[in-house]
Structure 1
Amino acid sequence: MAEAAKKLEGAALTRLLTLVKTHTGITMEERKRDMLTARIKPRLRLLGLESLEDYIDQLEQGKVEIQDFVNLVTTNETHFFRTQTVWDYFQNEYLPEWYKKNPDTILRIWSAASSTGEEAHSLGMVCEEFRFKHPSFKYKIMGSDIDTNVLAKARSGVFKDRTLDELKKRNPVFVEKYFREQADGTFRISPVISANLEFFQHNLHKAAPKGLLFDIVFLRNVLIYFNDQDQELVLSNMHRSLKPEGMLILGESESLARHKTQFIFKKPLIYMKG
């Protein structure tokens, strides 16, 4: 594979990076060559291909391999309750204020680029805690990703290893209350949570499907993978997908300061549709 990595330069590298951009919207730099090579290597063996050029040819010729390629090149990093200040705001400010204004309405939340679903399930747990205090409260959470592999994991509601270990340390009460340990040592989310969750495939370069409108969108730690022009496209799609005065939540390393958008700054990482 060292030979293949060495050949991934010039025209071949340009073709591959173009395919990444075309099918994911991600602008990937040439320095990601080794990472791309490492991720594609097992796929070459599985398909019986001799070189990366053969793989690129196959990608350019048809749609059969495209989804597997997308799954390979996208990065999926997520945690339960990532960035505590965001969750403090959602639980202590946003939910009480929204419910006061909309007591008879279903709260609709979008976890965009939801990966394996930790964020969406975190939202479910907080909403269930709020519903315990306010029985008439209703909510619907939708999670989306471009990667079909992580969507399958999110839909399963089964978690293990590092991300669940972190949750056990930070909030053992939630683990005891909303998860059930399985025979194989994994933990499955309570049906109370999963009943209010739905996951779907979605490319952030497109608006939410079926004309869906949301009260709040979590778009966290994903804009960093797009160039400035594509970031503004994604933000425009988010704006169209929000209800009037809907809220947008970004990741800890993201800001709208340098962008021309119709969002109004409320506090760090938190913006309102203008």
Structure 2
Amino acid sequence: MFDAEAIVDQATRKALFARVRRHTGIDMADRKWTLLHGRLRRRLQALSLSSYGDYLAVLDSSTVEVGHFIDMVTTNETSFFRTPRIWDYLWNDFLPAWYAGNAGSTLQMWSAAASTGEEAYSAAMLFEEFRQKHTDFNYRILGTDIAQRVLDVGGVGTYLGRNVEGLQKARPAMLEKYFQPDGVTHAVAPSLRAHVTFRTHNLYQRLKDPTRFDLVMLRNVLIYFDEAGQETVLENVRQSMASKAVLLVGESESLNRIRTGFTYQQPLIYRNADASA
């Protein structure tokens, strides 16, 4: 049986960090060992493995285990309407400007680190409100994440706990309008779900979708990559964006010190600078 208190040698730690980078692109170092150890040890216990060496052998021979591994090592914290100024920008600036130049078209949005779907459904609620003012406005939202476990939550579209409580506090009218209560849970209304789809995607790869997105949310994920990884991810994302499309990043993220094809608009907001995209 796995001994959770056993000392793990440096070579084994490096091998596990290497697997994290191989399968997710996330850059981990020794300072993250306690975090990684805490997430993996229960898996070793569940598999009745006695050491991380045994686990590495399983991981390298099983695609199913790779999926479990990805689910365990990725962070998936999110909430409805996270970072209010982003949503104010979308409502006050982005949507009116996009609609003025694209009336009758379908707005294409990509939630590129969708986690359990709160970001995608927040956008859908905002877009539905906009559509009530402009009846010919339409939209499609794609939500992707590397972890299937969290996407399953978004696909079901049923929420409870602090995220629902947060939405109730911040935007009670939207909770009442776009969710259906069922005991302690709240289910996303079909009117929203009809516009949102979820699927797995590794940001270290190009998105296999012919769509060119007008808006991409890549928020609170770049912080997990080193500089080279950030450049790779950003270029992969940019290749799926329309000319002059808008990219939104997280509140602790900036593109100022790395090479990208984006131009700065205002804090957290960038634009695809490549007119040929």
TM-score where L is the length of structure 2: 0.95
Determine the structure 2 residue equivalent to 1:222: 221
Contact 1:155 1:199 in 2 (8 A): yes
Determine the structure 1 residue equivalent to 2:212: 213
Name the CA distance, whole Å, in 1 between partners of 2:142 and 2:174. 21
Does 1:54 find its partner at 2:54? yes
Contact 1:5 1:34 in 2 (8 A): no
Contact 1:155 1:198 in 2 (8 A): yes
Paired residue secondary structure (1:22):
helix
Contact 1:264 1:272 in 2 (8 A): yes
Contact 1:108 1:141 in 2 (8 A): yes
**2:179 is aligned with what amino acid?**
F
Q: Can you list the C-alpha shifts for 1:9-43, whole angstroms capped at 9, x where unaligned? A: 31110110000000000001112212212211221
TM-score where L is the length of structure 1: 0.97
Determine the structure 1 residue equivalent to 2:24: 24
Relative to structure 1, the CA distance from residue 264 to residue 53 in structure 2 (aligned partners, 3 Å threshold; closer, same or farther) is same
**1:26 is aligned with what amino acid?**
I
How far 1:5 moved relative to its partner? 4.7
Identity of aligned residues (%): 43
Determine the structure 2 residue equivalent to 1:70: 70
Paired residue secondary structure (2:103):
coil
In structure 1, runs of 5+ residues without a counterpart are none
Q: Aligned runs of 1:73-84 on 2, under 5 Å? A: 73-84=73-84
More divergent stretch after superposition (131-140 vs 206-215) = 206-215
**1:231 is aligned with what amino acid?**
Q
Superposition RMSD on alpha carbons, in Å? 1.3
Aligned residue pairs: how many? 273
Q: Aligned runs of 1:35-184 on 2, under 5 Å? A: 35-183=35-183
Q: Aligned runs of 1:255-266 on 2, under 5 Å? A: 255-266=254-265
Q: In proportion to residue count, which structure has more helix?
A: 1
Contact 2:2 2:50 in 1 (8 A): no
Contact 2:145 2:202 in 1 (8 A): yes
How far 1:45 moved relative to its partner? 2.1
Determine the structure 2 residue equivalent to 1:34: 34
Q: Can you list the C-alpha shifts for 1:68-100, whole angstroms capped at 9, x where unaligned? A: 010011010101111111100001110011011
How far 1:64 moved relative to its partner? 3.0
In structure 2, runs of 5+ residues without a counterpart are none
